[in-house]
Structure 1
């Protein structure tokens, strides 16, 4: 951390934020020869933004297992023979992105994200990021081999904690300055050109001169007033899954100097999370440990004893980011994931953690007596569901078409009767991850004004970019977007500042 005596220094590039997108941007700019400063609003022990809380799964396009081995370098030849890795092409990625966003994702941003994904993963590996196979959550063992599915076979070692530790290590190796407890409050501009940034550090107001500012300080999900204003009053009741410091500061600063808004301001990424999860991200318990993402093998009931979504509509990778809001709509913002002993061994590891809230009983009648729900309706719904389950082969490795008939909502895949005890109920509520409304940015990370022209000297990455995600998103795409556009914004800012310097010399 730089001392206050350096506060009047001039930097080529100042990056606001210290998560994955921000540090990718800082490293990228530094590689181009720039003097770079990172501003982190929080203290050092709460650094890392939302990225710190992720499970590290990151979605990118790849051709085959050999391409994966370029990134996950410790897969032995023997291990490779036991892996079935379907290809996940750029077209697969793009189609998934456009499908889950209902075709609303900005085509130019979507194509940039997809086309740059593999190159960026390799770049991250070269920066020292350690990647591993996502065996636990994205593969099933069948016929002695691990069958991967869902286009998300890779994650960072030690989840988001490991990702951020490695990024901070790399930033420090490159000589990037990082100031903590430093909240950016205002962009300084002259004639539409960014010339500096104003911040508050240790109760002191400081103005820094700089040619380029990269905003990568998240969206506004931790700002209760903005959540209520833009997404809806009921979102006051949502748990904030990540950092408490993502309060929309960067978005507001950019709009004040003429940046154009973009994206779905009424939408957000939200999930079903443990009912007793912390109200904001707890930095002492990182790693996305409170989520509850095995719901495709469950039925979910609200307090009135009613189902409200098709739990088996698709793989969790393509539904979890929208089902959180459906839980928020339920009475008291709670739902219960119900499992029996047939599927209990299939549940993800977060269900086995000591932090997991659950109820267990040997019969459904005993289970429902433990819950604050409408007992009669709860049992009636389960009975009707069980009677509606159709014959077919149950296969958790694929969309098996084992479905219900005659009930609404249906369960389209993975429908098994809830009939073999012991029985389990996991209460979940809604946790907001990030909001979709942000800034208009071009594919190179330049922030645009109302005339669709770049605001000279202003760049953005990560959750600051609006227009990629609408309603939903393919799992792992947020982390990939942060890395791709962070790297691009860093290079764009570096080239811009170098051009400014050359112009000043010539003049």
Structure 2
């Protein structure tokens, strides 16, 4: 009679739960170790908007994972499609074609079927209206290849996965920080406090090292200890450290991370009551300036999905590690909901001069001159269209704005103060396309798997929005399925 395998999953977010469910689906006994207490559970997944990038061919594919879509919704919405080719191109382009091709293939080819699998287990999805769509000529149009979000955002996703795992018989342990990992006979044992837990296989899915200021400074560079953390305080590199001590190899962009513009007065770590609303991602429709009163990035270089994760680094490099986003009345109706929360650093005025005077720490004289030069350079002959790369840019500036350039000339004017918020780190463990952790010799280590943020080699320099949760789900499912099956 075949003995039931025991799989231990370290972590408590989307990747960990997908691994646990997949292993349980294959008949394994599964124990999930969540470092955080119950009230702070869910890892970074709980702090996200729940967006998941996936291949799809059109509305019929979306209805397979969102059966609640009505005929009326489909009729008034241009969902478009997102092909494998576009996903490959987007991932390659933003990572400067350094993404491991085998990992990229696993992610992209498995994206849609993994969402179908999640839906089959009871995870609900809906269209990402508002943040990823605009109404044009009476039709709602999606843009940027990101159309799907989990019901209830990140908190809803975690709550749903938790309930599904409990019903499936996964043993959930909270406040259970795994700190040691050792080979034990033909399996592994995981150390939690003074105890050891024996396992036939282990899946590490406990995040990167973004919440560890010493590691951030060591690997990302000077100044990164000053960044705010968008999500959980518990992702300090435990899984990476344990695996490396057990003989695993590291891989990927260890000096890189996902970091965004984040409210300058946000707390040091994420606040579950606010979630991801400290982010400020409508900058493509305005102007971004530093304390010297100067622009420092091309705000309209690409759709927000493909620039926001790298512009946090640019903000961190500015004087005072902060910047301001400026908008006028022509575009404030386009600003995302996160600009309308109570906990926001905002000033407004009826002139640029008065606005500059209210922006604490900013050189007002330089700012007024910078906006005047920018306004003069805007190409007003090209129509403004937020749903496409409209080519409405500037002419003659040393630092151009490529798309969505509008003069700041219509009061009231608004400015939002931001700093850098780090989401997750890109460097991690060497993992193959089957989610197996590889040793220093390049060979897979027996019965050791990884998923989520601590997978190295997938993201370099930047990443396409919504890919993190999808990657966690795809590799979590892959890892859990493999971990439940005895090695050949």
Q: Per the shorter chain, which TM-score range?
A: over 0.9
Q: Which residue of the partner structure matches residue 428 of structure 1?
A: 418
Do structure 1's residue 311 and structure 2's residue 304 form an aligned pair? no
Q: Which residue of the partner structure matches residue 446 of structure 1?
A: 436
Q: CA deviation at 1:73?
A: 1.1
How big is each residue's C-alpha offset from its partner over 1:186-215, in whole Å with a ceiling of 9 and x where there is no partner?
Answer: 112157x54211111xxxx10111110100
144, 150, 159: which is aligned to 2:138? 144
Q: Which residue of the partner structure matches residue 218 of structure 2?
A: 229
Rounded to whole Å, the distance in 2 between the matches of 1:352 and 1:260 is 45
475, 483, 487: which is aligned to 1:493? 483
1:300-339 alignment runs, 5 A limit: 300-339=288-327
1:352-501 alignment runs, 5 A limit: 352-371=340-359, 372-390=361-379, 391-496=381-486, 499=487
Q: CA deviation at 1:149?
A: 1.1
Rounded to whole Å, the distance in 2 between the matches of 1:190 and 1:155 is 41
Contact (CA 8 Å) 1:61, 1:117: kept in 2 or not?
yes
Do structure 1's residue 351 and structure 2's residue 344 form an aligned pair? no
Q: CA deviation at 1:79?
A: 1.7
Rounded to whole Å, the distance in 1 between the matches of 2:485 and 2:16 is 17
How big is each residue's C-alpha offset from its partner over 1:393-430, in whole Å with a ceiling of 9 and x where there is no partner?
Answer: 01111110000011121000000000000000000100
Rounded to whole Å, the distance in 2 between the matches of 1:76 and 1:153 is 16
Q: CA deviation at 1:302?
A: 0.2
Contact (CA 8 Å) 1:303, 1:331: kept in 2 or not?
yes
Rounded to whole Å, the distance in 2 between the matches of 1:174 and 1:227 is 37
Q: Which residue of the partner structure matches residue 153 of structure 1?
A: 147
| SS in structure 2 of the partner of residue 469 of structure 1 | coil
Rounded to whole Å, the distance in 2 between the matches of 1:84 and 1:33 is 42
> Tell me, which stretches of 5 or more residues in structure 1 are unaligned?
1-9, 501-507
Rounded to whole Å, the distance in 2 between the matches of 1:89 and 1:385 is 37
Rounded to whole Å, the distance in 1 between the matches of 2:337 and 2:293 is 27
Rounded to whole Å, the distance in 1 between the matches of 2:104 and 2:236 is 25
Rounded to whole Å, the distance in 1 between the matches of 2:346 and 2:255 is 32
Rounded to whole Å, the distance in 1 between the matches of 2:471 and 2:259 is 17
| SS in structure 2 of the partner of residue 188 of structure 1 | strand
Contact (CA 8 Å) 1:333, 1:429: kept in 2 or not?
yes
Q: CA deviation at 1:284?
A: 3.1
Rounded to whole Å, the distance in 2 between the matches of 1:183 and 1:303 is 41
257, 265, 271: which is aligned to 1:268? 257
Q: CA deviation at 1:148?
A: 1.0
Rounded to whole Å, the distance in 2 between the matches of 1:194 and 1:283 is 37
* Equivalences, count: 483
Do structure 1's residue 111 and structure 2's residue 117 form an aligned pair? no
Q: CA deviation at 1:91?
A: 1.1
Contact (CA 8 Å) 2:259, 2:312: kept in 1 or not?
yes
Q: Which residue of the partner structure matches residue 258 of structure 1?
A: 247
Q: Which residue of the partner structure matches residue 4 of structure 1?
A: none
> Tell me, which stretches of 5 or more residues in structure 2 are unaligned?
none
Contact (CA 8 Å) 2:187, 2:198: kept in 1 or not?
no
Contact (CA 8 Å) 1:140, 1:397: kept in 2 or not?
yes
1:58-69 alignment runs, 5 A limit: 58-69=52-63
Contact (CA 8 Å) 1:11, 1:37: kept in 2 or not?
no
Contact (CA 8 Å) 2:251, 2:430: kept in 1 or not?
yes
Q: Which residue of the partner structure matches residue 277 of structure 2?
A: 289
| SS in structure 2 of the partner of residue 427 of structure 1 | strand
Rounded to whole Å, the distance in 2 between the matches of 1:68 and 1:166 is 20
TM-score by length of 2: 0.98
| SS in structure 1 of the partner of residue 51 of structure 2 | coil
Rounded to whole Å, the distance in 1 between the matches of 2:456 and 2:147 is 26
| SS in structure 2 of the partner of residue 424 of structure 1 | strand
Q: CA deviation at 1:368?
A: 0.7
Do structure 1's residue 178 and structure 2's residue 172 form an aligned pair? yes
Rounded to whole Å, the distance in 2 between the matches of 1:466 and 1:422 is 46
Q: CA deviation at 1:65?
A: 1.1
Rounded to whole Å, the distance in 2 between the matches of 1:44 and 1:140 is 38
